[in-house]
Amino acid sequence: MKKYLIIAIAGLLLSVTSEAYALEITPGGLQQALASEAATIVDLTLTGKGDARDLQYISTLPALRTLDMSGLQIVETKSDKAIHLSRHHFPANTLPAYIFSLSKLEKVVMPSTLTKIEEGAFASSNLNTVTFGASVKTIGSWAFYKTKLSSVVLPASTDSMGTGVFADCANLSNAGLSATQVTELLAKTFRGCTALKTITFPAKMTTLGAECLLGSGLELVSLNPSVNRIGAYALSSMPSLKSFSASDPMMEEGALYGNSALTSVSGQKRIGDLALAGNTALMLDSATTSQFTTLGAYALANNPTVRLFFNQNLKEVGEHVADGMDNLVSIKAIELEGNIPNTADHAFDGINGISGKRLWVHEDHLQSWANHPEWSRFELKGSTLGTDPIISDEIAGADIKCFWQNDLLTVSASENLTGVSVYSTNGAILAISTPQTTEATIDLNGVADNIIVVRASTASGAKTFKLRRTN
């Protein structure tokens, strides 16, 4: 291609091809420098100093796809005449609001001295690649909304992000935020990022805002211990989410609502309204539910869990807490003894056949539970802490008994035992035996757990017990 040099009227030096330009500018001089070449510029590199007038002009270049501003310093400008969006004053080192929104720009390198990107700066543009300078502190709301970005890594200088910064970026698969100083990911930051598979959260993050990752494509979310709040529907309607772990942040309404692939949740104690509702594959084990302190309204609605286990940690139960839990067979609340949680009216509305679903309570406090207007709706059964009830009876027919005293576990049956398996409450195997006799004694010396799960089987039956050690 023919190359030539133009000395612009404004005294600017311009090196040119028919499509790519490298230009050193002074504030407000870009339009005059480009003159008749503006319509053909595809690739533009700017150095020197520019202001909002130059940025506004860049946004009008019809063929521009690549913009390198790494060597450009944006200076303050004030004008009697409106420059952009009826504004007259633009601060230094700032990309103005909506300056490149709806543009056809595809690749941008930010100025190294840029400190702020204002609201909607690239919203709904064709931007697919962005390189940030090391000075960017603030990214305004909706700055990259609905762009075509596939990956983004924010610099360590970033300490503030607005609402919906990367919302509806359907191609975004990777987001690196770990180096930033951001403490709050505000509402809708990554909402609708359906291709998002990898994210590293800010190390100092305390809050995941409302709808922050709603509808995103993440399969695993593991939050830092510093996170103490998950906003409403922040992690909801995520079709690929399988596992979630945290260190007991407060879960607001619908925080993990409607994740059809979710099978594992850990570290949660306070479950807000609808917070775990609609997770149709999430089978809650005793290690998880025994940590619950608060269950808000509809907290477990439409959950498929068969048996729930509550202990003295549970303090509050909201209305319709188990609405639609049609698979529920029983609730074990023996360890609560007579400490009935603060229970809302209509707490157990929506449980089909509730009168036939068993509630196991401590036999010494059976009458207290029977007198409660909500808990008495279940079929009440009394038991003791030493000999917990059968929690499973998959194959009827075998008369199997189980007792654990000191370090010895004794299992007996009306016919030969074909297998005995002992587990911790978190599922770890503690012992396995194949007795082939009607009684088996298993030495559990060295097992620190005070509660175990025992699965015993014969040729015609199998039962599972949950036992507490007795002395």
Report pLDDT digits (tens) over 386-402: 544 455 545 445 678 88
Please check the confidence at residue 177 and state whether its pLDDT lies above 50.
Answer: yes
Write the CATH number for 414: 2.60.40.3080
Domain contains 434: yes
How high is the pLDDT of residue 471? 64
Higher-confidence residue: 17 or 174?
Answer: 174
Give residue-wise pLDDT tens across range 279-315: 999 999 877 898 999 999 999 999 999 889 899 999 9
Domain contains 253: no
Please check the confidence at residue 95 and state whether its pLDDT lies above 50.
Answer: yes
Q: What residues make up the domain containing 406?
A: 391-468
Beta strand extents in 215-351 (DSSP E only) = 220-222, 229-230, 243-245, 250-251, 264-266, 270-271, 294-295, 307-309, 316-317, 330-332, 342-343
Domain contains 421: yes
pTM of the model: 0.79
How high is the pLDDT of residue 397? 59
Q: Which amino acid is located at 297 in the chain?
A: A
How high is the pLDDT of residue 228? 97
How high is the pLDDT of residue 391? 54
What is the percent of the chain where pLDDT is above 70? Answer: 93
Please check the confidence at residue 413 and state whether its pLDDT lies above 70.
Answer: yes
With beta carbons less than 8 A apart as the criterion, state whether 226 and 248 touch.
no
Give residue-wise pLDDT tens across range 332-369: 898 899 999 999 999 999 999 999 999 999 989 999 99
Residue 371 CB-density burial (10 A; 0-12 exposed, 13-18 middle, 19+ buried):
exposed
Domain contains 432: yes
Average pLDDT over residues 172-189: 98
Domain contains 443: yes
DSSP helix/strand/coil, 300: coil
Average pLDDT over residues 75-80: 96
Domain contains 139: no
Spell out a b/e string for 67-102, using b for 16 or more CB atoms within 10 Å of the CB, else e.
bbbbebbbbebeeeeebbeeeeebeebbbbbbbbbe
Domain contains 458: yes
Encoding tokens for residue 17? 């091809």
How high is the pLDDT of residue 199? 98
How high is the pLDDT of residue 37? 87
Higher-confidence residue: 119 or 438?
Answer: 119
Give residue-wise pLDDT tens across range 199-237: 999 999 999 999 999 999 999 999 999 999 999 999 999
Domain contains 415: yes
How high is the pLDDT of residue 385? 57
- Per-chain mean pLDDT for the chain: 91
CA angle at 221 for the pair 215 and 223, rounded to the nearest 5°: 125
How high is the pLDDT of residue 9? 33
Please check the confidence at residue 5 and state whether its pLDDT lies above 50.
Answer: no
Please check the confidence at residue 143 and state whether its pLDDT lies above 50.
Answer: yes
Looking at the structure of the chain, the number of domains it has is 1
Q: Give the pLDDT band of residue 16 (cuts 50, 70, 90).
A: very low
